[in-house]
Amino acid sequence: MKKIVSFLLVFIIALAVGMAGDHFEINRYVKYVLMIAAIVLTQNMIRRLM
């Protein structure tokens, strides 16, 4: 159950970063890098909390 919740949380945060990148009209490759960074940082924070 924890893995499903953590996966959904990471997915939602990466999606939000991608949507923010679309809103501010950021270059597509920069947006992908930001989404990957958000995924990595969120996973690290979840590991520390659990």
Domain that holds residue 21: 6-49
Asked whether residue 16 is assigned to any structural domain, the reply reads yes
Task: Please check the confidence at residue 2 and state whether its pLDDT lies above 90.
Answer: no
Residue pLDDT, tens place only, 4-49: 988 999 999 999 999 999 999 889 999 999 999 999 999 999 989 8
pTM, rounded to two decimals: 0.82
Which pLDDT does position 13 carry in this prediction?
95
Angle at 21 between CA 18 and CA 26, to 5 degrees: 135
Phi-psi sector, 7: left (phi>0), alpha (psi -120 to 50), beta: alpha
Residues 6+ apart with CB under 8 A from 34: 17, 18, 21, 26
User: Does residue 13 form part of some domain?
Assistant: yes
- The answer to whether residue 22 sits within a structural domain is yes
Number of domains present in the structure of the chain: 1
Assign 50 a pLDDT band (cuts: 50, 70, 90): confident
- Calpha distance 18→20 (Å, rounded): 5
